[in-house]
């Protein structure tokens, strides 16, 4: 169990090991649920992405080369992982 200190501004800093356990990297979001018994549930936020966000993802990354379906699928999987959609 980790013990955290609350600052005078009401802020708490999560330790690196906690963030690694949650799989959270700098700049990512955390979801906090307030439970009725005074506890909280903390987890990495699951970002909702859309196919529209993938539009143009490989543009200007191919140097004019045509991509195989495998290369396109790999780029889509990489974009989904980057967007927080999880791994394929």
Same-domain check for residues 33 and 5: yes
Rounded to whole angstroms, the Cα distance separating 67 from 78 reads 15
58-87: pLDDT as tens digits: 666 667 777 788 888 887 888 777 776 554
Same-domain status, 6 and 32? yes
Structural domain boundaries, residue 65: 51-82
Phi, psi of 35 (to 5 degrees): -95, 150
The CATH number given to whatever domain includes residue 36 is 2.10.260.10
State the distance between the two ends of the chain, measured CA to CA, in whole angstroms: 32
Same domain, 58 and 77: yes
- Is 55 found in the same domain as 39? no
Model pLDDT for residues 25-46, shown as the tens digit of each residue: 888 888 899 999 999 998 888 7
pTM reported for the whole predicted model:
0.46
């Amino acid at each position: 169990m980790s013990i955290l200190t609350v600052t005078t501004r009401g802020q708490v800093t999560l330790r690196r090991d906690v963030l690694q356990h949650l799989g959270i990297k700098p700049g990512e979001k955390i979801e906090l649920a307030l439970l009725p018994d005074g506890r909280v549930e903390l987890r990495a936020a699951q970002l909702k992405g859309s196919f529209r966000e993938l539009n143009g993802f490989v543009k200007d990354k191919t140097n004019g080369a045509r991509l195989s379906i495998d290369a396109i699928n790999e780029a889509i999987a990489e974009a989904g992982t980057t967007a927080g959609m999880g791994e394929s």
